[in-house]
Chains A and B, each alone.
Chain A
Amino acid sequence: MSAFTSALRIALAALTRSKGRSLLTGLGILIGIAAVVVVTALGTGARERVGSQIESLGSNLLFVFGQGSQRSGVRIRAGSNFGLSEEDAEAIRREASAVNKVAVYAEVKPQVSSEYGNAKIAVVGIDRDYFDVRNYRIAEGRAFTANEERFKSKVCLIGLTAQQKLFGNSDPIGRYVRIGKYPFRVIGTLESKGQSQFEDQDDRIIMPIGSWRARVVPTLGNRVQLIMVTAKSAAHIPEAERQIDAILRQLHDIADGDPADFQVRTQDEFRKSQEAILGILTALFMAVAGIALLVGGVGVMNIMLVSVTERTREIGIRMAIGAKRRDIQLQFLIEAVLLTLFGGLSGIAVAVGVIAVLTHTLEWTMRLSFEAVTAAIAMSLAVGTVFGFLPAQRAAALDPIEALRHE
């Protein structure tokens, strides 16, 4: 241990003797480590966000999409994704035992106007189970009544973003929005769901599916884009998935094994596909950051090799007065590791700053984890050891007589 502490002291003295060079060499590592830490924080933040978004959809959720493909050889509404119908939803509700609630969903994005202004806003037709399935809550006002659904009343609920676009800060309840030629009375506001991966979930107006069909898009018959289903419990999800598949195949007249014209996705699959995309992105950025770190490491090796050559005489003196090969090797290895550790710690500090700035100015979700910091420190140590090894080896292998003769 004494050999180590004395080598540490010697290395520190050598580094402080050439401060400018040490700083510049450390800079390479600083950049690499800072890049790694920032990218990791970005990845961790994004993953957490995806997780909470998918959580916010509701629980034990399954999605059924139309595939917009062929049915009995006839292409149905090419390019449309309205491949399912209310009968499909009805059949699932009736026959699937593992299923709790079933909700239909249809959306268009027309121009919507109010007395204050107008904007393109998603207008969504749903049935009342949608509130339970999606965990939607009314912020103010009330939900639709059964009678309003039955009579296709011109009423709607409005999300926070749509509300700001159409009404600014004034209370929208009791006022009207106009979609096409019909005015709809706002009976309530929706609790905020926040930004999803692709869209603002609060930039929408929702209304009973009957009203939607009668007044907004009268040309779609009983077709819907999406059926959302909740399983009775998390354990029932696979069973529910199987049942839905069987019911829809029968209804659509598709044999087992043939490609279906619909797709059943669970929340877990959503999460997995999102995480896969994130994983690829993170890996890509990590590779770039890794290359930066590698370049920094090569810089350290370069400087250490120069340093060994410059200090050949010093090495000779040390050997003459009793330094063993291990002492010399340790001294240069510690110098390299101190350089990278210093660079790494400054890199972490810089990364913390960058993360703080990005979080505040661009409102990116970033999370600096304890693991990432630990890994960054470990990485700096590893880079120093790996890239310091060759120069240290070279220093230790010097012949004391030759080294003493070196000018």
Chain B
Amino acid sequence: MADLIELQNVSKQYVSGPEVVHALVDLDLRVAIGEFVAIVGASGSGKSTLMNILGCLDRPSRGSYHLAGVDVSNRSADARAIVRNRLIGFVFQGFNLLPRTTALENVELPLIYRGVGARERRRRAIRALTQVGLADRIRHTPTQLSGGQQQRVAIARALVTEPPLLLADEPTGNLDTRTSFEVLALLQSLVRELGLTIALVTHESDVAECAGRVITMRDGRVESDHVQRTPRDAAASLEELAAAPAGTAE
């Protein structure tokens, strides 16, 4: 299978006060289409920097980044905005939905920046919300939704442009165990059914267990990179959780 992500010799330094921080050091990384990769590591290991570069929010200091076969390492801010809009969907720990804005409008947003007409925008946004199981909540604003629902709206917003890559930065960090498995089950189904590629940053081991491949970062380098032949099935975990008596879930 062709590689969706191809990082070669990527380094990233930035100046923080008097020090130069080497956030990433000579990193090589390939991710194939349809992979579900978990990136783990202690804080300061470089996983956030890696996510920012993968998400075209930041540029590597050195090295090259090919996304879907195109070199995006040295693009201008606006060119990277176009790449983000067309090729990448973002899911954040804090959901990052626009306040006082309905689920439908939140999901339509990326399509506005793509210049899609109102009618088509609406149609696609409703489809994406249906995909995440929120067809009956399209008029709700974030404060009227639970954390899990908000994250599912965010996932719908990431999916609405039909990108090949979804980047999730601690997507379950603000959620309880049950809701976390719900979101993970949704992500797994997206990989399975749509062939989506997902890179997910987490520091929780049971979240990482759901991925097909786990990359551990340390001091700006890849410490270990191994494939999990039988990743944990989040949907099954959810059922076990439901079957277990209340109070013993944690």
Whether the Cβ atoms of B109 and A318 lie closer than 8 Å is: yes
Q: How far is the CA of A17 from the CA of B157 in the complex (A)?
A: 21
Contacts of B249 in A (CB 8 A): none
Interchain CB contact under 8 A, A401 and B57? yes
Known contacts A13-B101, A313-B96; A321 and B109 CB within 8 A of each other: yes
Q: Verify if A3 is at the interface (C-beta below 8 Å from B).
A: yes
- Which A residues lie within 8 Å of B109 (CB)? 318, 321
Binds B, one of A140-148, A151-159, A322-330: A322-330
Does the CB pair B78–A321 fall under 8 Å? no
Beta-carbon contact of B78 and A324 below 8 Å = yes
A314, CB-defined interface residue at 8 Å? yes
For residue A251, CB closer than 8 A to chain B, the reply is no
A220 contacts chain B at the CB level, 8 A cutoff = no
> Does A287 have its Cβ within 8 Å of any Cβ on chain B?
no
Q: Answer whether residue B233 sits at the interface, using C-beta atoms and an 8 A cutoff.
A: no
Chain A 385-407, CB-CB to B under 8 Å as 1, else 0, gives 00000000000000011001000
CB of A222 closer than 8 Å to a CB of B = no
Across the interface, name the chain B residue whose C-beta is closest to A322. B85
Interface: B123 (CB within 8 A):
no
Chain A interface: which of B110-118, B131-139, B175-183, B188-196?
Answer: B110-118
In the assembled complex, B52 has its CB within 8 A of some CB on chain A: yes
For chain A, the count of residues having a C-beta within 8 Å of the partner chain is: 24
Task: Mark contacts of A128-142 with chain B using CB atoms, 8 A cut-off: 1 yes-contact digit, 0 otherwise.
Answer: 000000000000000
Cβ B113 vs Cβ A325 within 8 A: no
- Does B86 lie at the interface of the complex (its beta carbon under 8 Å from any beta carbon of A)? yes
Q: Are B113 and A317 in contact (CB under 8 A)?
A: no
- Give the complex CA separation of A10 and B77 in angstroms: 21
A2 touching B100, Cβ below 8 Å: no
Counting chain A CB atoms within 10 Å of each CB, the highest count among B85, B96, B113 belongs to: B113
Q: How far is the CA of A317 from the CA of B82 in the complex (A)?
A: 14
A13 CB → nearest B CB, Å: 7
Q: A321-B84, A322-B84, A326-B78 are in contact. Are A400 and B57 (CB under 8 A)?
A: yes
B98 within 8 A of A: yes
- Residues in A whose Cβ lies below 8 Å from that of B90: 320-321
CA distance A227 to B97 in the complex (A): 84
Kindly state whether residue A250 has any CB partner on chain B within 8 Å. no
Chain A neighbourhood of B161, CB < 8 A: 322
**Chain A 43-90 interface residues, beta-carbon cutoff 8 Å to B:** none
Q: Are A401 and B86 in contact (CB under 8 A)?
A: no
Quick check: B100 and A324 within 8 Å, CB to CB? no
**List of B residues within 8 angstroms of A17 by Cβ:** 100
Flag if B113 contacts A324 (CB, 8 Å): yes
Given contacts A322-B85, A401-B52, contact A317 B112 (CB under 8 A): no
CB-contact partner of B98 in A2, A3, A9, A314, under 8 A:
A314
A327 to B: closest C-beta gap in Å: 6
Beyond A320-B90, A401-B58, 18 additional contacts (C-beta under 8 Å) are: A2-B115, A3-B115, A13-B101, A314-B99, A316-B96, A317-B98, A319-B84, A320-B84, A321-B90, A322-B82, A322-B86, A322-B110, A324-B77, A324-B78, A324-B82, A325-B77, A400-B57, A404-B57
The residues of B with any CB-CB pair to A shorter than 8 Å are 52, 55, 57-58, 77-78, 81-82, 84-86, 90, 92, 96-101, 105, 109-110, 112-115, 117, 157, 161
Which 10 pairs between the two chains have the least Cβ-Cβ distance? Answer: A322-B85, A322-B113, A6-B112, A321-B110, A324-B78, A2-B115, A324-B81, A317-B96, A400-B57, A323-B113
**Contact surface of A with B, Cβ cutoff 8 Å:** 2-3, 6, 9-10, 13, 17, 313-314, 316-327, 400-401, 404
